[in-house]
Amino acid sequence: MTIGILLEMAQGERRVALVPASCASLIKAGHSIIIQSGAGAEAGFPDDAYVQVGAQVAARAEVLAQAACIAHVAVPTTAEIGEYPKGTSVITLVYPKRNPDTLAALAQAGVSVFAMDAMPRTTRAQNMDVLSSQNNLAGYKAVVVGANAVGRIFPLMMTAAGTVTPVKMLIYGAGVAGLQAIATAKRLGARVEVTDIRPETKEQVESLGAKFIWVEGLENVRIEGGYVAGVTDEILQKQKEAVEKSLFAADVVITTALVAGGKAPTLITAEQVSKMKFGSVIVDMATDAGGNCESSQHDTQVTVGGVTIIGGGNLAATVPTHASELYGKNVVNFLAHIAKPDGISFDTEDEIIKATLVVHNGEVKV
């Protein structure tokens, strides 16, 4: 099969779907790779690196004309959807619940779409899980962004001029991103507190040396595939009350909470922001899904009453080299699963294909 790689058109997207090492693996498996010239440059991979592993570098139109399958990263833009030839298969991030109009346009274009973000959270699909690989990097970068924005250093420091106290950090959510943020902040010397409405995360948080803020009523939270699928307003209110003391004392706050691919819950209100320390920083990692902070703006830094609020919706794209390497490995593993000698399998009896095939035969399957 001929697999195509295009230069991403989404604003701020610097990743590339397949890096040269990933291309080499696919070529060894019998596939052909054709990549748009310059597609990997922003991620640190020049055209020559692709040529060296046996990929063909071509103009965008040639890639679209030859590729039976296109490996993609960001949610396809309207312009990109308009370019896809009918019958093409596209492997990409698409977040079906957030982007119904995009899915409808893809169905109308007559392409088949595999949503990498819809990968089931099973052992069998673990090496294809792009949300884990990308959120892990994003959690690390969120701490770096927060450290850069706050006017303090993270660790305790004893100096001749006096003692510098460590930064107090509060993290909302102990998923992949949150756990990596904890580990990174602890390495930098911060004192870290964490809140999550999934009780099973308490042990993981404490194993990393952070303090877990307990919220009563967690037994009523509905979990699906490792994500919060449903939570009552009562529990969210209890969480708000339980964490306010830590929130108002925090120097850096990182929010990571998502609800099963839908709109992110509001965890920090504008009123709470008004009571936070002057000079404190919020890094809201959920702005792609509406944001966890009422005052945050997508991919924008704002200051409200002395509090800096950073909307970090696509932090993985700010470390494009490693993000592309990990994403590419996920795509290679996924292709090994769905690519058969006679082409791509659309067998929805397979749990991985059923979960990820969101558009096929002109129909939205979500």
Local confidence pLDDT in tens for the 366 residues of the chain = 999 999 999 999 999 999 999 999 999 999 999 999 999 999 999 999 999 999 999 999 999 999 999 999 999 999 999 999 999 999 999 999 999 999 999 999 999 999 999 999 899 999 999 999 999 999 999 999 999 999 999 999 999 999 999 999 999 999 999 999 999 999 999 999 999 888 889 999 999 999 999 877 766 777 766 666 667 778 778 777 889 999 999 999 999 988 766 788 889 999 999 999 999 999 999 998 899 999 999 989 999 999 999 998 899 999 999 999 999 999 999 999 999 888 899 999 999 999 999 999 999 998
Which token pair is 191? 């004192």
Residues 106 and 170 in one domain: no
Helix (H) or strand (E) holding 324: helix 320-338
pLDDT of residue 28: 96
Residues 149 and 291 in one domain: yes
CA dihedral sign, ordered 282, 285, 287, 290:
negative
Helix (H) or strand (E) holding 255: strand 252-255
Residues 162 and 296 in one domain: yes
Q: Catalytic residues, which ones?
A: 121, 126, 129, 132, 227
Distant-in-sequence, close-in-space partners of 14: CB < 8 Å, separation ≥ 6: 8, 42, 43, 317, 318, 320
Q: How far apart are CA 282 and CA 133, in angstroms?
A: 23
Residues 211 and 175 in one domain: yes
Q: Is residue 347 included in any domain, yes or no?
A: yes
Nearest alpha-carbon partner for 185 in 249, 253, 248, 267: 253
pLDDT of residue 366: 83
Q: Is residue 363 included in any domain, yes or no?
A: no
Q: Is residue 134 included in any domain, yes or no?
A: no
- Contact (Cβ atoms closer than 8 angstroms) between residue 252 and residue 280: yes
Residues 182 and 104 in one domain: no
Q: Is residue 125 included in any domain, yes or no?
A: no
pLDDT of residue 177: 96
Domain total in the chain: 2
Full domain range(s) for residue 160: 139-317
Residues 196 and 228 in one domain: yes
Q: What is the model's pTM?
A: 0.92
Residues 149 and 215 in one domain: yes
Residues 157 and 299 in one domain: yes
Q: How far apart are CA 366 and CA 356, in angstroms?
A: 9
CATH number of the domain residue 79 falls in: 3.40.50.720
- Contact (Cβ atoms closer than 8 angstroms) between residue 3 and residue 91: no
Q: Is residue 12 included in any domain, yes or no?
A: yes
pLDDT of residue 325: 98
Q: How far apart are CA 158 and CA 279, in angstroms?
A: 23
Residues 107 and 210 in one domain: no
pLDDT of residue 226: 62
Q: What is the DSSP letter of 85?
A: P
Residues 298 and 343 in one domain: no
**CA end-to-end span of the chain:** 27
Residues 217 and 310 in one domain: yes
Q: Is residue 223 included in any domain, yes or no?
A: yes
Q: How far apart are CA 266 and CA 260, in angstroms?
A: 15
Question: Exposure of 133 by Cβ count < 10 A (0-12 exposed, 13-18 middle, 19+ buried)?
Answer: buried
Half-sphere exposure of 145 (CA within 13 A, CB side): 29
Residues 305 and 217 in one domain: yes
Position 170, amino acid = L
pLDDT of residue 102: 97
Which token pair is 267? 């965890």
